[in-house]
Structure 1
Amino acid sequence: MLAAQRRDELLERLRTRGRVVAKEVAAELGTTEDTVRRDLRELAAAGLCQRVYGGALPASPATADLAARAGLATAGKAAVAAAAVRLVPAGGTVLLDGGSTALAVARALPPWLEVTVVTHSPVVAAALVEHPRAEVLVLGGRLFKHSGVTCGAATVEAAARVNADVLLLGVTGVHPAAGLTTGDAEEAAVKRALAARAAETHVLASSEKLGTASAHVVLPLSEVAGIVTDAPPEHPVAAALSAAGHRVLHA
């Protein structure tokens, strides 16, 4: 089998099965594990898969910068946002992560809702300038321009002084095996720090993120209260998450 044919086969398996195990594929295709791993390295370099121990998972399409993500799956993000705002308690404190789905949540907060919003996203904070009853607190730190959020030690220290009722967490990948992932290590660390300060964490997961993975683990699925998604209950990954005992809230 030619190299191009092998790579096409690997991509098809990622699409239909949700993962590639190098040892299994090598045996089925009559080639070596080293050859399969080399193919996976090339696919990963092209952004077409996320390498993990023993093989690969589908790469998240949500690792582009904030401007590019703003135009990705807008209807799905709006649906997720509309469902997520129902998790925000009136008079309470919500930690709102950065990213395009979190921005959609900020815009969807009803104007009558009295709430304190704590965020490390200046973009999200700016979206709430005209909200008449929202108190907005911005966590400082180094601006990570790719995602439009602050990060680093200063952000983590600022988060440690916050107590919140709920965190609405943005990630780039939600996978039954890999858990919750994102594309930057510092950003992942800040997300964990935010989760540690909230009574419960809900994940904002439009359907294109389900079944995909990025390089850096944020949290295992067992540490969140729920996953808010626009995917229908029969979506294979949503169904697998529900079957594993994870709470999936369908928008």
Structure 2
Amino acid sequence: MRYTDAPARREELLRRLSAEGYVSSSRVAEELGVSEMTIRRDLRQLEGEGLARRVIGGASLPNLGHGRPFDERAVTGSGEKHAIAEACLDLLDGAVTVALDAGTSVAPLTGMLQPGTTIVSHSAPVIQAAIERADVELVAVGGVYQSETRSFAGATARRTIADYSVDIAVLSATAVDTTGILCANALDAELKQELARAARTTILLVDHSKLGARAPIRVGGLDLVDVILTDPGADPDDLQALRDAGATVVVAGEHVAPGSLTSRATSATTDAPGVGVS
């Protein structure tokens, strides 16, 4: 198959970069049926967008395993992130145990959760905020500390999360489009996957700038989560594209009946909610 359409070709280059971490210009040109000069132009554009890093003979993922620092991301769209977190509370109604991801959209939820909630998290800001509350239970997930995301990752963190069963996991992402959920940190992607596996219901919080955007690491398809929650600044075309792809998308401010989420696990289990060790 010849990839003569530039957007489709660059999408394929990103897919290969995410899967392998590196692409060879000559090899991929031959496999896609285009010239090596065309591939080099594509890689130059992807590099300009921050999605690839050109090296001798091809390209690799940019700053592999790392994204923008947490503090820098926290101040970007902070108003939208707080609005999304507040809207998320209605979806958490009745949840006893909530797992919180390391994203800046998720962290504000820590101070908003109902007293008596058990919080499971590998995020240092979430852990610190939970410690300061005397009315919640905390399962602090440790591991290898990552300063860029201010979170713990690695095998220890994955094993700890895998030992728990939680009612709802709240995730964040660098980008989401019709192909799925994307992030900029390979180790962080592994933890997001574990959190989704541990949860009966999974919510993705993303501000409108993340819709239709791109990032180098694939976390999973849209079916990894039960609902995507975003802010009113979202482009209607982006919302419709995600809905057409099968996603349930909620905009902050829309009425959602508390506790009305349909879980991926509803048909698989009828256990009472709560935290458990598997």
TM over 0.5: yes
Give a deviation string over 1:202-241, Cα, whole Å, max 9, x none: 1011111110121111111023110010045752111111
In structure 2, the CA distance between the partners of 1:155 and 1:21, relative to structure 1 (3 Å rule), is same
Q: Which residue of 2 aligns with 1:213?
A: 214
Deviation of 1:184 after TM superposition, in Å, equals 1.7
For 2:46, which of 41, 44, 49 is the aligned residue?
Answer: 44
In structure 2, the CA distance between the partners of 1:64 and 1:141, relative to structure 1 (3 Å rule), is same
Q: Which residue of 2 aligns with 1:175?
A: 177
Deviation of 1:46 after TM superposition, in Å, equals 3.4
| Equivalent residue runs for 1:107-118 within 5 Å | 107-109=111-113, 112-118=114-120
Distance 1:186 1:130 in 2: 27
Distance 1:146 1:39 in 2: 30
Aligned residues of 1:232 and 1:238 also touching (Cα < 8 A):
no
Distance 2:41 2:149 in 1: 30
Q: Which residue of 1 aligns with 2:13?
A: none
Deviation of 1:159 after TM superposition, in Å, equals 0.6
Aligned residues of 1:168 and 1:202 also touching (Cα < 8 A):
yes
1:82 aligns with 2:91: no
In structure 2, the CA distance between the partners of 1:173 and 1:159, relative to structure 1 (3 Å rule), is same
Deviation of 1:33 after TM superposition, in Å, equals 5.1
| Equivalent residue runs for 1:64-213 within 5 Å | 64-90=68-94, 92-109=96-113, 112-177=114-179, 179-213=180-214
Distance 1:81 1:104 in 2: 6
Please provide the CA RMSD for this pair. Answer: 2.4
**Which has the larger helix fraction?**
1
Distance 1:215 1:64 in 2: 13
Q: Which residue of 1 aligns with 2:21?
A: none
Distance 1:167 1:50 in 2: 30
Name the TM-score, length of structure 1 as normaliser: 0.77
Give the gaps of 5 or more residues in structure 2: 1-5, 11-33, 54-65, 253-278
Give a deviation string over 1:103-136, Cα, whole Å, max 9, x none: 1222333xx5320000001211112233342111
Secondary structure of the residue aligned to 2:209 is helix
Distance 1:44 1:63 in 2: 16
- Give the residue type in structure 2 aligned to 1:114: G
Aligned residues of 1:76 and 1:230 also touching (Cα < 8 A):
yes
Secondary structure of the residue aligned to 1:128 is helix
Secondary structure of the residue aligned to 1:249 is strand
In structure 2, the CA distance between the partners of 1:50 and 1:200, relative to structure 1 (3 Å rule), is farther
Give the paired residue count: 213
Distance 2:240 2:118 in 1: 34
Deviation of 1:190 after TM superposition, in Å, equals 1.4
Q: Which residue of 1 aligns with 2:28?
A: none
Aligned residues of 1:164 and 1:197 also touching (Cα < 8 A):
yes
1:20 aligns with 2:22: no
Name the TM-score, length of structure 2 as normaliser: 0.70
Give the gaps of 5 or more residues in structure 1: 1-18, 24-31, 52-61
Aligned residues of 1:99 and 1:148 also touching (Cα < 8 A):
no
